[in-house]
């Protein structure tokens, strides 16, 4: 049973980015976001709330002093208080008539920025009041209803809120965005060589020339690039040596076989001569398969091929010979393929299909970014437990359907080798028409 820790890890992986760039970016952005969140939280909770509380308490005390003095002062004293409030408290004080048309004073504010100040002011004075922004100005208007008049106080919003707090937030957010832009630029420059190395490796896996690849990027990436180049050269030498050896041996064997055939043809017609001639023909057939296998590994430049034209050309060849090969479904897509190799691959499959069946159906369609080519026949098929064996080179099946009867056991091996050279896969399945289905998946 899967542990709880593994389940939690699987759940978390679904939400994590899959690319190296995304994960590296996440590694950078998460600590920064956490750091800024903690900094802002500490700034507001531990510092800014205390600052606002101090501002509100100080201003409420000033307003309370002015209201108290205004309540019991005569006109001259009120005038002096107005001048002193403006001079020492930076509060502009004016008196308005106590008109019954003036709106109700709820002793609160409709602006969330002034809530804390309004709460402190309610604790300081008993008179009803109203706090609002001054239209078009960075000032606050406070109206207080007295017995015989309305006291209007006007002061800067800086007496309640500090502009430096907003600047601090802007500075933090701006610096974070600038940092992310710089980090993104450097990350892309570091990841680009890795992407280039992956593309070159994929092209090499498809048998395509990777060109003049030069390792770039960080020292670790350069080391991986140099290791890839060394591995590529070793593989090229190994494959070249194998194919050249196989081709040379097969070619050299043709000469003695030709002499044997001529010698057998000149012998009197006897029973053993016919048997030997049949053996020589089998040997020639095997040698031809060796040469085909080696030829499939020789250098060939890929080119763009229209799938529908490929299938029509192959099916037309068999139709002209009076064989039952038809196209069930086709595709108008264009894909990069090795022309001679893909023809040899499909010919091998269709030849085997017609050898053990009377009909063959071709289909091509695009599935999840891949091109899928399907060859169905109505022959006896291959048992499920022997399909893996059928794909191995030099393996001959003894079941009801021997795909390589009279050959060297390279029929499906050549097919698989060509498909792997394109970066694809070969699957053997049951055909709907009763025989074997060969399904070839090629990357787009």
**Tens-place pLDDT, residues 391-441:** 776 566 654 444 444 444 556 777 888 888 788 889 999 999 888 999 999
- Answer for the pair 364, 339: CB distance below 8 angstroms, yes or no: no
* CATH code (residue 363): 3.30.565.10
**pLDDT at residue number 377:** 92
Q: Is residue 214 part of a domain?
A: no
Given 113, 138, 161, which residue is the final one in a domain?
161
| Assigned domain for 261 exists | no
What mean pLDDT value characterizes the chain?
78
C-beta of residue 307 within 8 angstroms of C-beta of residue 330: yes
Residue 331 pLDDT more than 70? Answer: yes
Domain boundaries, position 96: 22-161
pLDDT band at 164 (very low <50, low <70, confident <90, very high): low
Of 109, 143, 161, the residue that ends a domain is 161
Q: Go through 130-164 and write b for each residue having 16 or more CB atoms within 10 A of its CB, e for each that does not.
A: bbebeeeeeebbbbbbeeebbbebbbebebbbeee
Per DSSP, the chain holds a count of helices (H) and strands (E) of 12, 12
Is the per-residue pLDDT at 82 higher than 50? yes
In a domain, 325, yes or no: yes
Tell me if 421 sits within 8 A of 235, measured CB to CB. Answer: no
Domain boundary among 97, 127, 161: 161
Task: Please tell me which residue, 324 or 175, carries the higher pLDDT value.
Answer: 324
For residue 376, is pLDDT > 90? yes
Percent of the chain at pLDDT exceeding 90: 9
Determine, yes or no, domain membership for 29: yes
Tell me which residue of 160, 128, 145 sits closest to 52, measured CA to CA. Answer: 160
pLDDT over 60 (residue 442): yes
Q: Which two tokens stand for residue 242?
A: 């194998």
Does residue 201 belong to any structural domain of this protein? no
Q: How many domains does the chain have?
A: 2
Residue 173 CA, distance from chain mean position: 28
Q: What is the pTM of this model?
A: 0.48
Is residue 277 within 8 Å of residue 264, measured between CB atoms? yes
Structure tokens at 69: 């003095």
* CATH code assigned at 57: 3.30.450.300
Note the pLDDT of residue 395: 60
Lowest mean pLDDT among 44-53, 71-80, 96-105, 181-190: 96-105
- Asked, for residue 135, whether it belongs to a domain, the answer is yes
| Structure confidence by residue, pLDDT tens digits, 210-239 | 667 788 877 888 888 888 888 888 877 776
In a domain, residue 247? The reply is: no
Asked if residue 174 belongs to a domain, the reply is no
Q: Where do the DSSP E strands lie in 359-424?
A: 360-367, 370-377
Least confident interval from 14-23, 82-91, 114-123, 153-162: 14-23
SS3 content of the chain, % helix, strand, coil (to 5): 60, 15, 25
Q: Is the pLDDT of residue 181 over 70?
A: yes
């Amino acid at each position: 049973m899967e542990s709880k820790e593994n389940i939690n890890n699987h759940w978390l992986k679904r939400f994590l980015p899959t690319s190296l760039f995304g994960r590296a970016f996440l590694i950078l952005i998460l600590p920064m976001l956490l750091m800024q969140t903690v900094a802002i939280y500490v700034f507001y909770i531990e510092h800014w709330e205390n600052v606002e509380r101090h501002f509100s308490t100080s201003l409420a005390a000033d307003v309370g002093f002015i209201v108290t003095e205004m309540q019991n002062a005569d006109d001259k004293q009120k005038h002096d208080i107005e001048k002193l409030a403006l001079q020492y408290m930076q509060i502009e004080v004016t008196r308005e008539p106590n008109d019954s048309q003036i709106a109700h004073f709820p002793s609160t504010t409709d602006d969330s920025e002034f809530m804390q100040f309004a709460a402190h002011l309610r604790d300081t004075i008993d008179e009803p009041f109203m706090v609002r922004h001054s239209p078009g100005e960075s000032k606050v208007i406070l109206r207080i209803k007295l017995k015989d008049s309305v006291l209007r106080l006007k002061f800067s919003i800086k007496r309640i809120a500090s502009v430096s707090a907003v600047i601090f937030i802007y500075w933090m957010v701006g610096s974070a965005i600038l940092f992310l832009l710089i980090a993104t630029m450097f990350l892309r420059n570091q990841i680009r060589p890795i992407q280039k190395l992956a593309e070159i490796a994929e092209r090499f896996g498809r048998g395509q020339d990777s060109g003049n690849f030069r390792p770039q990027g960080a020292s670790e990436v350069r080391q991986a690039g140099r290791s890839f180049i060394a591995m590529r050269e070793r593989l090229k030498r190994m494959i070249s040596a194998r194919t050249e050896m196989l081709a040379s041996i097969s070619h050299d064997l043709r000469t003695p076989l030709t002499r044997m055939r001529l010698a057998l043809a000149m012998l009197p017609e006897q029973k053993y001569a016919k048997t030997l001639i049949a053996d020589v023909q089998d040997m020639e057939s095997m040698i031809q398969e060796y040469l085909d296998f080696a030829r499939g590994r020789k250098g060939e430049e890929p080119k763009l091929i229209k799938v529908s034209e490929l299938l029509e050309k192959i099916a037309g060849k068999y139709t002209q010979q009076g064989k039952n090969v038809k196209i069930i479904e086709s595709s108008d897509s264009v894909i990069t393929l090795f022309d001679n190799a893909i023809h040899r691959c499909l010919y091998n499959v269709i030849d085997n299909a017609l050898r053990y069946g009377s009909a063959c159906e071709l289909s091509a369609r695009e599935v999840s970014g891949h091109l899928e080519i399907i060859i169905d026949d109505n022959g006896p098929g291959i048992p499920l437990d022997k399909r893996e064996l059928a794909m191995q080179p030099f393996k001959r099946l003894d079941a009801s359907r021997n795909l390589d009867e009279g050959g060297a056991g390279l029929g499906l091996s050549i097919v698989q080798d060509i498909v792997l050279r394109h970066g694809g896969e070969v699957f053997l399945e049951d055909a709907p028409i009763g025989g074997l289905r060969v399904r070839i998946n090629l990357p787009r």
